[in-house]
């Protein structure tokens, strides 16, 4: 694949990458930073990607590994400061929009309460639409493990949202 075609395909993935990053980070600014870092790494490592394989799965794995590195670094730094963007999204734009924002917020909070392994599985399969086999490859786990995590994640998510008792 030519460099131009590679860049075009990578650019087409940006909305999906940003959505996955948001699911991992639970923060808009961190998600944007993670996307930028992922694209940089993908461009630098382009020679490692094998033509004929799925570019999206390869880039998702880069993103996940990048996020794991970031979480480890944050843990080492032990920062206790609230992120400066916490106060930016105060207020709503009318009743229907407010209801949608509240519901989306409920889903995001419920998703954030899931253990990381379950959240990754839920976001990849239910939000991003990856097949179980592809999601398992991205997470570098057996497909059966992904299926278990996804099942537990779905059940916990529905319980958090009050859909099941």
- Which of 101, 119, 100, 99 lies closest to 160 in space, CA to CA? 119
Question: Taking 60 as the threshold, does the pLDDT of residue 18 lie above it?
Answer: yes
- Which of 141, 150, 148 lies closest to 120 in space, CA to CA? 150
Q: What is the CATH number of domain 1-90?
A: 1.10.1740.10
Question: Taking 50 as the threshold, does the pLDDT of residue 98 lie above it?
Answer: yes
Given this chain, do its domains 1-90 and 95-165 carry the same CATH topology?
A: no
> Quick one: which H or E segment has residue 8?
helix 3-12
pLDDT value at residue 39: 95
What is the pTM assigned to this prediction?
Answer: 0.58
The domain segmentation of the chain, as residue ranges, is 1-90, 95-165
In CATH terms, the fold of domain 95-165 is Arc Repressor Mutant, subunit A (1.10.10)
**CB neighbourhood size of 107 (10 A):** 13
pLDDT tens per residue, range 43-93: 999 999 888 889 999 999 999 999 998 888 877 765 444 455 555 555 545
**Runs of H (alpha helix) within 13-142:** 14-25, 28-44, 55-77, 95-113, 116-122, 132-139
């Amino acid at each position: 694949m030519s460099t131009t075609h590679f860049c075009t395909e990578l650019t087409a993935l940006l909305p999906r990458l940003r959505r996955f990053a948001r699911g991992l980070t639970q923060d808009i600014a961190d998600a944007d930073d993670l996307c930028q870092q992922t694209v940089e790494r993908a461009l630098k490592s382009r020679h490692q990607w094998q033509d004929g394989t799925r570019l999206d799965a390869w880039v998702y794995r880069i993103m996940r590994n990048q996020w794991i590195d970031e979480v480890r670094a944050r843990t080492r730094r032990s920062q206790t400061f609230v992120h400066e963007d916490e106060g930016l999204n105060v207020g709503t734009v009318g009743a229907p929009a407010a209801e949608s924002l509240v519901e989306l917020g409920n889903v995001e909070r419920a998703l954030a309460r899931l253990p990381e392994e379950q959240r990754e599985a839920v976001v990849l399969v239910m939000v991003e639409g990856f097949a179980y086999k592809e999601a398992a490859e991205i997470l570098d786990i057996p497909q059966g493990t992904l299926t278990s995590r996804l099942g537990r994640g779905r059940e916990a998510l529905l319980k958090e949202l009050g859909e099941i008792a």
